[in-house]
Amino acid sequence: MLLVLATFFVAQRFKHKRQILLKQKFFKQNRGQLLQQLVSPRIDIAERMIIPIDELAKATNNFDKARELGGGGHGTVYKGILSDLHVVAIKKSKITVQKEIDEFINEVAILSQINHRNVVKLIGCCLETEVPLLVYEFVSNGTLYDHLHVEGPKSLSWVTRFRIATEIASALAYLHSSVSIPIIHRDIKSSNILLNESMTSKVSDFGASRYIPMDKTGLTTMVQGTIGYLDPMYFYTGRLTEKSDVYSFGVILVELLTRKKPFSYFFLDGDGLVSHFVKLLADQMLVQILDPQVIEEGGKEVHELSILAASCIKLNAEDRPTMRQVEHTLEGLIVSKKFVQNNVEVEKISENDITMMNCSLKKERESPPECSRRYSMEEEILMSARYPR
């Protein structure tokens, strides 16, 4: 009996020691020491951001499937409750190839230096498992994509859409010009904009983000992003600049105005959302593609926002505004048009305006205009995406 107990005790000790060695191995594998240096030179902050795997396992009931919030190609997100009762979102990568580890470290390094109300907050990370884990603030209300593309005629109100656009612009302007080393997000899209219970937006998913050295205006890198939101010039040249984010933001503005999905919208002649939007704006027939709710609620600010969107999605990156200029434009519209959520004073589009728009549509049907092929690059991208670069 004593021999059995002794054998069991030795086996348990061996198992425990093996687990410790594995944790140490994985910690080193995930570049733990480097990560601590990237997070902060201050040891206390670095230590506070490292969360043990046991804590996260307990927080998620051993990563119970019932705790899953969603996921994509890169991993699964779980809802967890830490020992201090903080509700968090925990991202667990699906695979452990070096690229995933590099993106994990990149996201931690970037988010650890960001402090902006419209950027998702990184609470900590775990390096003790083969699969790296990231721990974020819990943003409870889904994504902008979820709320915008609901079934039915009504979606987010115009005031909410306008405010969300302003918040995203503020976050991107901060990343481009208010941090010590400028950051380009590289994958701005509506599904990467989280919304909390008060519908405040939070830019998320910084795995693909890149630093831009202060002495440079851009860098050449492997093309990464989402078709429909991807800057055509970046796609063709591999040259990444802050104007690539400006283009993606412009696509989000078009998405807010139209409630069309940038990656799956095609007009009869094969035009994508961006090229069709630009043509209709140039022909003063934008009402053809605008969300009816935007026409009903938006007033004459719709035209101003449409002009801003068009400036952001210009083919030549140098012709696009900076995100700081975009932010100032949106803030100026808020002040001048009294866009205050609790006391909204919005000038509706008049019946005469709608009549003129309808006349434009009738005229178009009678005599279809010749359309510019200026934005044919967008269609070429969609075709090129089928083949490896």
Question: Binding site membership for ATP: which residues?
Answer: 92
Tell me the one-letter amino acid at 364.
E
Tokens in use for 68? 């899953």
What is the CB neighbour count within 10 angstroms for residue 142? 15
The single residue listed with the structure tokens 């630093």 is 211
- CA nearest neighbour of 364 among 261, 271, 282: 282
- CA nearest neighbour of 75 among 196, 204, 264: 204
What is the CB neighbour count within 10 angstroms for residue 84? 6
Residue 45 has φ and ψ, to the nearest 5°, of: -70, -45
Q: Burial of 277 by CB count in 10 Å (0-12 exposed, 13-18 middle, 19+ buried)?
A: buried
Q: Which residues are annotated as a binding site?
A: 92
Tell me, yes or no, if 205 is annotated catalytic: no
Cα separation of 337 and 319, whole Å?
27
Buried b (16+ CB within 10 A) or exposed e, 328-357: ebbeebeeebebeeeeeebeebeeebeeeb
What 8-state DSSP symbol labels residue 202?
A: E
Three-state DSSP at 195 gives: strand
What 8-state DSSP symbol labels residue 90?
A: E
Tokens in use for 283? 């022909």
CA distances to 256, 275, 312, 326, 357 from 280, in Å = 16, 9, 16, 22, 11
Catalytic residue among 187, 205, 231, 271: 187
Residue 358, CB-side half-sphere exposure with 13 Å CA sphere? 8
Alpha helices in the chain (DSSP H): 2-29, 32-39, 43-49, 53-59, 98-111, 144-148, 158-177, 232-237, 242-258, 273-282, 292-298, 301-312, 323-337, 351-366, 376-384
Q: 133 Cβ partners below 8 Å, 6+ apart?
A: 51, 53, 56, 90, 91, 92, 93, 125, 126
Give me the active site residues, please. Answer: 187
